[in-house]
Amino acid sequence: MEEGMFNRLEDFISLAKNGEKIDLTVSLDKQILTRKFYPYKPGESEDEIDMYFLTANFIFDVAGRVHEVTKFYASGIEGDSQANIKRNVHIANERLKMDYTRLKEAGIIFSENCWDEQS
């Protein structure tokens, strides 16, 4: 596989299934971005909203070469209700667990972690 081809989890799963030894570290993150809504009429002020994205950074070491893949698992609005935050964290964790299962089935060993509701 060429160097530029390592950009999806599936690429590393395929390598591992073909016998390649792969070390993996998973780092979870919550990124805050401000989205601006521009006015449609002259003179209106622009509105902003803070959004969060729950992401996982997968850092693969294949034969001494490090490759990083970032995946987005859920998003929401900062300051949203606790019920919505809890739902988004649950969705992100369930999606992440599916990826963890695929990685483990391929023989890639790593430490699992999940987001908590305070993420």
85: domain range? 3-37+45-105
Q: Would 56 be classed as within a structural domain?
A: yes
Give the pTM. Answer: 0.84
Q: Would 111 be classed as within a structural domain?
A: no
Across 25-53, average pLDDT: 80
Question: Residue 9's pLDDT is what?
Answer: 96
Question: Residue 42's pLDDT is what?
Answer: 61
Judge whether residue 117 has pLDDT over 90. Answer: no
Question: Residue 83's pLDDT is what?
Answer: 94
Contacts 24+ apart (CB under 8 A), 13-16: 13/102, 13/103, 13/106, 13/108, 14/106, 15/62, 16/103, 16/106, 16/107, 16/108
Judge whether residue 40 has pLDDT over 70. Answer: no
Backbone angles phi, psi at 14, to 5 degrees: -60, -45
28, with CB counted inside 10 A (0-12, 13-18, 19+), is middle
Q: Would 113 be classed as within a structural domain?
A: no
CATH of the domain at 54: 3.30.720
Instruction: Give how many domains the chain has, as a whole number.
Output: 1
Question: Residue 69's pLDDT is what?
Answer: 96
